[in-house]
């Protein structure tokens, strides 16, 4: 370990102890791949007692720290607030007990706050003051005019790492909420390096914590090792490599299921009330009827000759077709007016499409689906 590494780690540890911990008592530090070369010497320089966050939360054994308590590997709780047989809520209780004894606590995570799933009754991350580790200065990386890549400690002080790999590791640590924001900013909205001014503050905070952004003259500026296209490609690579289900997936899928099945059931009731035994025949215009019959015949109803032969033709409609039928002159939107259906389509169709094509859900998708579940249950008839 070089003197430059030790010096950089100790100066940052000193700032945390003398400024952040002294002032706020509970501090959150994002210490990911871009700062890996400083990780061990920095945590050693913080002094006090270093513990694994999940192991600390899982036990009630008392500790007698001689300085701040440093709780490492907090990112284990990010997915759903659970790790090692315990919860983020249990960790909060133990941390609060330390704070009651006037003991300073430092939470260390490879992932940013935004990567953590909301946990009912636990505001540990909100309680903690966020601390952004500074990038290297010219005197720290041994270059009079360092390139942007050299500002990251893992590049400037490390053994010439694979920059593409480092970007992928860093982006993986940031979590799906950041990835979906970057997906929109870079690929849907088409922003270039100035995208940093267009994203949500908590996403910009995550990028700053990862060493991919910094504040210059009061404005957040994007910083990345390598050219912008490399960063853009890394975002695409990490999104493609994200194959595990998101924590919000069960709630979103269940909500969409309830919403669509309810609309189909209400439409069926309305059709029966209007046409009784001939409800199937009178449901659709000729164009939709032909599509539905062909769809059903290619799946399970091979012997069906007409729409009337299907148990429930409504089940063979796409969501777009379903909305078209519901808002047709025959059904007049059921109990909702045109504005309600317009907002429904704006909110739900993009989420439904993301789920249908196995794309990543966005941060607000669960809340939107939950809102429409409640509205469908209480106002659609």
Structure tokens at 345: 């389509």
DSSP calls for 191-206: --GGGGGTS-HHHHHH
CA distance 26 to 10: 20
Q: pLDDT tens for residues 304-333?
A: 999 999 999 999 999 999 999 999 999 999
Tell me the chain's radius of gyration from C-alpha atoms: 27
Place 122 in a pLDDT band, splitting at 50, 70 and 90: low
The pLDDT tens digits for 258-299 are 999 999 999 999 999 999 999 999 999 999 999 999 999 998
CATH number of 3-131: 3.40.50
Distances (CA, A) of 91 to 330, 341, 348: 57, 44, 36
Q: What is the mean pLDDT of the chain?
A: 93
Bridge partners of 31? none
Query: What percent of the chain is helix, strand and coil (3-state, nearest 5)?
Result: 60, 10, 35
Residue 146: is its pLDDT beyond 70? no
Would you say the pTM of this structure is higher than 0.75? yes
Within the chain, all domains assigned CATH 3.40.50 are found at 3-131
118: confidence class by pLDDT, cuts 50, 70, 90: confident
Of the listed ranges 126-135, 186-195, 296-305, the one predicted with least confidence: 296-305
Count other C-beta atoms under 10 Å from residue 75's C-beta.
21
3-state SS string for 302-362: CCCCCHHHCCCHHHHCCHHHHHHHHCCCCCCCCCCCHHHHHHHHHHHHHHHHHHHCCCCCC
Burial class (CB in 10 A: 0-12, 13-18, 19+), 338: exposed
DSSP summary character for residue 284 = S
> By the 8 A CB rule, do 230 and 167 touch?
yes
Tokens (6 digits) for 30: 């994002």
């Amino acid at each position: 370990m070089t003197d430059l590494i030790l010096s950089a780690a100790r100066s940052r540890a000193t700032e945390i102890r003398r400024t952040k911990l002294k002032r706020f008592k509970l501090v959150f530090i994002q210490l990911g791949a871009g700062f890996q070369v400083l990780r061990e010497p920095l945590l050693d320089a913080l002094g006090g007692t270093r513990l694994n966050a999940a192991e600390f939360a899982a036990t009630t054994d008392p500790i007698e720290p001689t300085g701040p308590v440093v709780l490492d590997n907090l990112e284990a709780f990010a997915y759903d607030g659970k790790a090692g047989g315990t919860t983020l809520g249990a960790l909060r209780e133990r941390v609060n007990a330390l704070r009651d004894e006037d003991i300073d606590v430092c939470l260390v995570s490879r992932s940013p706050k935004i990567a953590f799933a909301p946990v009912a009754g636990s505001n540990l991350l909100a309680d903690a003051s966020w601390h952004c580790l500074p990038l290297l200065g010219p005197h720290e990386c041994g270059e009079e005019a360092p390139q942007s890549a050299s500002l990251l400690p893992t590049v400037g002080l490390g053994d010439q790492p694979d920059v593409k790999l480092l970007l992928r590791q860093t982006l993986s640590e940031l979590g799906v909420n950041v990835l979906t924001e970057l997906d929109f900013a870079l690929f849907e909205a088409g922003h270039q390096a100035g995208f940093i001014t267009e994203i949500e503050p908590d996403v910009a905070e995550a990028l700053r914590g990862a060493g991919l952004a910094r504040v210059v003259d009061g404005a957040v500026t994007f910083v990345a090792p390598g050219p912008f296209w490399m960063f853009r490609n890394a975002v695409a690579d990490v999104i493609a490599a994200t194959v595990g289900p998101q924590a919000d997936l069960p709630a979103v899928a269940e909500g969409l299921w309830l919403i669509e099945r309810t609309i189909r059931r209400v439409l069926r009731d309305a059709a029966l009330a209007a046409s009784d035994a001939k409800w199937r025949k009178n449901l659709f215009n000729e164009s939709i009827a032909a599509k539905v019959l062909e769809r059903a015949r290619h799946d399970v109803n091979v012997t069906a000759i007409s729409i009337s032969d299907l148990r429930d033709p409504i089940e063979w409609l796409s969501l777009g077709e379903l909305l078209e039928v519901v808002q047709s002159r025959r059904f007049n939107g059921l109990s909702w007016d045109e504005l309600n259906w317009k907002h429904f389509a704006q909110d739900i169709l993009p989420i439904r499409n993301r789920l249908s094509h196995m794309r990543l859900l966005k941060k607000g998708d669960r809340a939107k689906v939950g809102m429409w579940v409640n509205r469908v249950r209480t106002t659609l008839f």
